[in-house]
Chains A and B, each alone.
Chain A
């Protein structure tokens, strides 16, 4: 069974631009969560989607948004990029029973904002 895939793996953008990151969960998984990892703040929760609905949201500004499609694939978008948005963005998928299942992570997208 294929694991969680994330595209692109690396991205370089400039301040003010916007970016879209994609995550394809493990087949059969209906829940997708996104996390931001930085050296200063560690791993922080961004959002959680289940069956195309946002089930939970972290404390990030409105520039961070996401969505989930009917095939469970998910995208997150960051508009008006700031230098501080440089991070590793990780996506995780699970069957979606809310904590009762293992969550598997993708390899991440490393975003650099110049």
Chain B
């Protein structure tokens, strides 16, 4: 069975702090895909990143970076120098090969205070 666990329900930080959102996944597939989405108060899910199981290279995009480690089945997301606009719920998700079906974690609510 596939499962995504986001153990942090809510995180509060002050602006400019770095914050890491944890994501642990379970799957028996050898080929799979991992995603991160941001859901601001408006409700729309915003795509952030997709990673396939064969690519363990870390990725950096501006203030965002992702650390994918197959050995620990983790796909963690770090925001450097957080800003108030980063306040949102962040979801990690998993899909198997040959399907667009996403299994979502329960989300982490990030609040960034000025």
Q: How large is the interface on B (under 10, 10 to 19, 20 to 34, 35 or more residues)?
A: 20 to 34
A-side binding surface: helix, strand, loop or mixed? strand
**Chain A residues with CB under 8 A of B107:** 42-43
User: Could you tell me which residues of chain B, from 78 to 104, have a CB within 8 Å of some CB in chain A?
Assistant: 91, 93, 95-104
User: Could you tell me which residues of chain B, from 7 to 51, have a CB within 8 Å of some CB in chain A?
Assistant: 32-33, 35, 37, 42-47, 50
- Whether the pair B47, A99 counts as a contact (CB closer than 8 A) is no
- Whether the pair B37, A105 counts as a contact (CB closer than 8 A) is yes
**Chain B residues with CB under 8 A of A55:** 99-100
- Whether the pair A45, B43 counts as a contact (CB closer than 8 A) is no
- Whether the pair A99, B96 counts as a contact (CB closer than 8 A) is yes
Q: How long is the Cα–Cα vector from A96 to B95 in the complex, in angstroms?
A: 13
User: Is A33's CB within 8 Å of the partner chain B?
Assistant: yes
Q: How long is the Cα–Cα vector from A78 to B11 in the complex, in angstroms?
A: 36
Q: How long is the Cα–Cα vector from A94 to B33 in the complex, in angstroms?
A: 14
Q: How long is the Cα–Cα vector from A45 to B35 in the complex, in angstroms?
A: 15
Given A33-B100, A92-B102, A101-B100, 17 additional A-B pairs, CB 8 A: A31-B100, A33-B102, A42-B106, A43-B93, A43-B104, A48-B99, A56-B99, A56-B100, A58-B101, A90-B45, A99-B33, A99-B100, A100-B52, A103-B35, A107-B43, A107-B44, A108-B44
